[in-house]
Structure 1
Amino acid sequence: MSGVINKALAPFTLKGFYLLTWGTALGTNVWQTVSSFKAFGTLDRKTFGQLQAQLQPLYFAASTALTGALLGAHLYFHPNLVGSVLKAPHWWQLEEGVQGLLILAGFVPQLANLLVVGPKAVQVSLERHRLEAAEGKAYSDANPSEAMVKLNKDFSTLHGIASSLNLVSFLGLTGLGLAVSL
């Protein structure tokens, strides 16, 4: 009987966890990108902004947790990497070290989005909505106020940074999949 149970539980090993976590992290990134693009084209801007204000923190938290767990599992499989940060052979000199760097490329940008960029972008977006209501005109109307010009610039900058960080994370996770499959 225990042989049947062991075979049934075989996919639930740490290696199985590693692969499922990687797949979920990459899939979450792709889904967030695709669904955001579709929502942007379907919803009015204010509704889209409110939706993103609710979804982005969840997405960044989930993505950070998944890539953090992935990094933890990777370091568990390769404990020699923990000590090789400061001494040779360095991470970039080892196959498993390069894989660890790719995981970090997925983790660090999402952590930055979770803790810094994302909350600031949501704050600026909501300030812009409040200012639109107070001024009685949209952010894109002609002759915007100085306050609106500043908020537009701040939001564009933050959105660009968040999108770039998300792209770096996607590329890191995609690269990890390619590196592990070779």
Structure 2
Amino acid sequence: MTNALAPFTLKGFYLLTWGTALGTNAWHIVSMHKAFSTLDRESFAHLQARMHPAYFGTSTLLTGALLATHLYFHPVLLRRAAWWGIEEGVQGLLIVAAFVPQLINWVAVGPRAIRLAYERHRAERAGKDTPAQDLAAATSAVSTVHGVSSALNLVSGLSLAALGLAVSM
């Protein structure tokens, strides 16, 4: 009877939280690639401006809950500095490696990318009043920040996938 209730236990919550975090990350990568290849630049920027805060917030909260649950199951980690020396510590480090990039994206990089994209669109609409070098600089800034955001998101996704492998072994 206890197996039937497994999803409603703390261990079930841990597994569902991990699966949701990993699935959300994978879906975000696929859907944003599809949106980028389908929408014009301005529509894509508007979509990102609405979706990214919700996505990064959800991902951050999911990985934070995952970390809190992991620490609840392994309280020895709270008293130990060298997590890499034990299996549960390595799993905890993988969760931290997923949590921190999402938090950085949610708090700093994501809002900056959105702001820079809107500034570039304003410069494009200004047309002839905007020198080509300013437009090129704005495009370069958006590309750089978006690349940083994508790299952070990839690190988070790979860390969550590695966590699944680490737990299953």
Question: What is the DSSP-based 3-state SS (H/G/I as helix, E as strand, rest coil) of the residue aligned with 2:125?
Answer: helix
Displacement, 1:150? 2.1
Structure 1: gaps of 5 or more residues: 138-142
Match of 1:164 in 2: 151
1:27-176 matches, within 5 Å, as 27-85=23-81, 90-135=82-127, 145-176=132-163
Kindly provide the CA deviation profile for residues 108-139 of structure 1, in whole angstroms up to 9, marking residues without a partner as x.
000000000000000000111111111269xx
**Matches of 1:77 and 1:105 in 2, distance apart?**
19
Deviation at 1:11, TM superposition (A): 2.0
TM-score (norm 2): 0.94
Task: For 2:146 and 2:155, locate their aligned partners in 1 and report how far apart those are by CA, in whole Å.
Answer: 14
- Give the alignment's Cα RMSD to 1 decimal: 1.7
What SS does the aligned partner of 1:104 have?
A: helix
Pick closer, same or farther for the CA change 1:145–1:101 going to 2, 3 Å: same
1:37 partner amino acid: H
Q: Identity over the aligned pairs, expressed in percent?
A: 60
Letter in 1 for 2:112: K
More helix by share: 2
Deviations 1:145-166 (A, max 9, x none): 2321221121111011101100
Q: Which amino acid aligns with 2:36?
A: F
Structure 1 runs, 4 residues or longer, greater than 6 Å off: none
Question: Are residues 1:21 and 2:8 paired?
Answer: no
Q: Within 2, Cα distance between the matches of 1:128 and 1:33?
A: 23
TM-score by length of 1: 0.88
Rg larger in structure: 1
Which range moved further: 93-102 or 40-49?
Answer: 40-49
Separation (CA, whole Å) in 1 of partners of 2:128 and 2:164:
49
Q: 1:69 to 1:136 in 2, by over 3 A?
A: farther
CA displacement, residues 34-82 of structure 1 (integer Å, 9 cap, x when unaligned): 0011111111121111101110111000000000000000000000001
Q: How many residues align?
A: 169
Alignment partners' CA distance in 1, 2:75 and 2:62 = 19
Distance 1:38 1:160 in 2: 17
